[in-house]
Amino acid sequence: MIRKKQRVLQHIMEDKSYEIIRQQIPKHWVIREFNRPDYGIDLVIEIFEIIDENIAETLGEFIYVQVKSSKKLEIKQEKIYDVGNVSKGVWTENKKTYTKLDVIKYPFDTTSLFTIQALGGSVPVLLFTVDIQNEEVYFICVNDYIDKIILPQNPKFTEQKSLTLKIPALNRLSDKNIANNALKFYGKRAKFLAAFSKFSFQKNEIAYIYGYKTYPVWTYRDKIEKGKVYEQEEIKTQLLYFISQIIDLDIWLHIEWPVLPEAKREMQTLETLLKTDQTDWKEVRDKVIILWHQLSNLGTMYEDICREWFLPKIISLLTSYPEMPEIITKE
């Protein structure tokens, strides 16, 4: 018997998933469907901030999302063992220290994981798993999951057809306190990385200004500038210019990472000191060296700690969420 055109259940679930996501994302943010046909990214979320009751202004920040939907997701409790710093070494679990975490286990095809890995860490790609029945959306940053969990555990993961991701049940879009903080953090990723690059460049130039080296390698520039001495006014002009390039970056407004507003206060203090008539140049030099060491260290902290946030790991549970987990230590 001939049938009329039909709509498959998967398409109905997809539409329902998008509807649930739109209900739980801040209303002043913009969600756009992406890639038709779909090659791994379903949605792009553009982040806006409210200026007044009538206007929201774009921040120029974007999050890329792959959406997966299920009729109902099952939450299971897992033991999460303490792990050493995977940025510095292989995955090593301490079986004597662990916590218990509610997670959603979701199988993810290796082709999608490999595609996301190829994008690198600078473009945040999130997986939204949607529980249709309970109208809940759980999120995980796939880039960070690959770098901080999959590769350290299984560097040959591409030889498998799929892997099972463990998504903390704490990562719910309906929990605004956690979700909005996380999404705003991911949205700022490109700005963070651009700022870290700028800080590193400025620190290098300041080393030449003051004639000190932080690494025992002599370059061609060292040879051609050997013996060059910068006058105090030249140094002052250069430092004020460097500060002017970075002091108004909106990364400093991300107060959820407390070191950022603290760094801006240190910068403002230095700027005031530089503009004072009776300047103590030794004090300035000391503050400059310390400040730019701290600024360049932000990139290290970001890779070392921040990219662990909101993952199913003890370091994440200790630093990402409002409540501390119970850490169990076996004798």
Q: Which helix (H) or strand (E) holds 62?
A: strand 55-70
The pair of three-digit structure tokens given for residue 325, joined into one six-digit string: 């987990």
Sketch the domain layout of the chain as residue ranges. Answer: 7-171, 189-304
Identify the bridge partners of residue 76 per DSSP, sorted by sequence position: 103
Nearest to 89 by CA among 317, 304, 318, 326: 304
Cα 201–chain centre separation = 21
Are 45 and 62 in contact, with CB atoms under 8 Å apart? yes
Nearest to 199 by CA among 309, 86, 301: 301
Instruction: Give me the helices (H) in 5-53, please.
Output: 9-24
CATH number of 7-171: 3.40.1350
pLDDT tens, N- to C-terminus, the chain (331 residues): 665 554 555 656 777 889 999 999 999 999 998 866 566 789 999 999 999 888 999 999 999 999 999 999 999 999 999 998 888 888 999 999 999 999 999 999 999 999 999 988 898 999 999 999 999 999 999 999 999 999 999 989 999 999 999 999 999 999 999 999 999 999 999 999 999 999 999 999 998 888 877 777 777 677 777 767 778 889 999 999 999 999 999 999 898 899 999 999 999 999 999 998 777 888 899 999 999 999 999 999 999 999 999 999 999 999 999 998 899 998 6
Q: Which helix (H) or strand (E) holds 102?
A: strand 93-109
| Signed CA dihedral, 255, 303, 140, 96: sign only | negative
